[in-house]
Structure 1
Amino acid sequence: MSLPTARLDLLTRQFWRLSGRPVDLTGDEAWLAAPMSPGPSVGDAWVEPTALAWGGQALDRPHAGLLADMAQLDGSGFRAADLRPEIRDFYEHTSDWRMEVWTQWSPLFQPGGELVSRLFGRRVQQLALPTRPLEVAHGMDSRVTVLTDATGAQRAAAWLRTLRSRGEYVYSGCYSVRTLPGSTQPGVHVAFPSSRATSRSS
């Protein structure tokens, strides 16, 4: 990491420490706990270590989905059986679906998006939002990797999206089912892992 980017990362960490508050990831706020990348960039570096920490594996299964079964979300306010079949199929067999992508930013916000992408997104390989139409002209690749626990059951899924033109990561997300404190209705928990090494460097 160069000196200017190291200073930038230090300033952003100081900002969040001043403006944020501590959370207890082993107590009341455990639902916020999310995987982290062990290195300076994210991409798919967090996937296998996370599965190993759960005693499981990271598997590229055919027809893999963000959720093993939408019925995991059944509760007083939701029934998977009531969904349109194509919606349920998307969540349970996400890797069978393909995306068509186009991007167009407002001229007012495009410079800010480009700045964030250049300073953080592309370097960290996470949330590197394309800001120009030509960046997605060749399309975006999508890969779903299942993360199992020690029993072999799907505990989460990594949804990894890369630009076909450059192979760079755009999104690297972890999808699982969790229930918020005070609620009995399960929901889809989406986390975008950050870099543990970057967050601890000084």
Structure 2
Amino acid sequence: MMNLAQRKQYIQDWITQQWVILFGKRIDKSEHKWLLGPFGKTNGIGHKFIDQLAKDECLVRSNHKKDNGLLESIEELNLSDEELKSLSDDVIDFYLNTSNYGLKLQVKWNPIFKLFSTIVSVLFSKRIEQLNIPTQNIKDSEGLTNEIIKLVDTKTKEVKRTIWLRSFKSSDQIVYAGVYETCTLPSGKTCIKAIFPLPNGNATVILTPKIGSNGELILDSSGQKLGDNGFYFLLKDSENQLWAKFIKSFTDKLVVRSQNGKITATQTMNLWNLKVLKFEYEINKLTH
């Protein structure tokens, strides 16, 4: 008997989830802890997801707004001593104190994929408040809000979840609402994991860190199979079984660098070895 996606949801969500079941792999929670992350509900993501996650996991939002980073410590990346010495101090500060920076974004699409981006936006992104990538090129940098939300255990005060929420300042439209943490692949390699909740599941990008010759941090997702770094869809079906689909054809590469005290980042997404789009970030430290 075929496994089915959960029924009570939008038809386009059901179809994409059924595709993951048909072409993906059923996974065991105990054997794939490195891959697991929070799932979204069917009523949208955004701020609703953050409040629901805190409730489900008995956590509360930290009151600290400044000095919040995607990482609590750079040691979480398990870099070698040589790599740590080479990594730019400015890049380290950005990852440890992300909320102290302002972001500006430029977007450049490959024209071949612009129609696809519009379809995704209409069917999914605006409704679920997630992965709201602009469908038009943005040549002049547009400002983004840059909020790091920490969910902590009420008793131990330990940070359990770190959420990076980015919206366009001009429209308040959420671009990304992602949970960020590190994970250890079956190979033993430590990676950064970005989890983007979707209805009854998530899109997860696992990125392997490397240090470039000029001290830049290079995060790469070009793995070859389930178990590697790369792009995954995860979901829970109508019988509460977990499924994962590894998307080998989709890769994501992020380079964060500092030159003359100025931090920039370039993110390039490819599909079937074709560049889909490029993000250029300007990252400026705020003066409080």
Same fold at TM > 0.5: yes
Q: Distance in 2 between matches of 1:136 and 1:160?
A: 22
The reply on whether 1:33 has 2:46 as its aligned counterpart is no
- Contact conserved, 2:69 with 2:96, CA < 8 A, in 1? yes
Matched with 1:170 is: 175
- Secondary structure at the counterpart of residue 109 of structure 2: coil
Q: Aligned to 2:190, which of 186, 194, 198?
A: 186
Q: Which has the higher strand share?
A: 2
- Cα separation, 1, equivalents of 2:237 and 2:21: 14
Counterpart selection for 2:159 from 135, 149, 154: 154
5 Å-filtered alignment, 1:1-202, equals 6-25=10-29, 27-61=30-64, 62-74=66-78, 80=84, 82-133=86-137, 138-149=142-153, 150-183=155-188, 185-196=189-200
Distance 1:35 1:136 in 2: 34
| Contact 1:37-1:45 within 8 A present in 2 as well | no
The code of the aligned residue for 1:174 comes to V
TM-score, scaled relative to structure 1: 0.83
1:69 is displaced (CA, Å) by: 1.0
Taking only the aligned residue pairs, the percentage that are identical comes to 27
Q: Counting helix residues as a fraction of each chain, which structure ranks higher?
A: 1
Q: CA deviation at 1:77?
A: 7.9
Matched residue type, 1:172: A
User: Which amino acid is the alignment partner of residue 33 of structure 2?
Assistant: A
Instruction: Report the secondary structure of 1:139's partner residue.
Output: strand
Asked whether the equivalents of residues 59 and 152 of structure 2 are also in contact (C-alpha less than 8 Å), the reply is yes
Residue segments in structure 1 that go unaligned for 5+ positions in a row? none
Task: Report the aligned-residue RMSD.
Answer: 2.9
Number of residues paired by the alignment? 196
TM-score (normalizing by structure 2): 0.60
Say which structure, 1 or 2, has more relative contact order (CA 8 Å, 6+ apart): 1
Structure 2 CA distance for partners of 1:39 and 1:58, relative to 1, 3 Å = farther
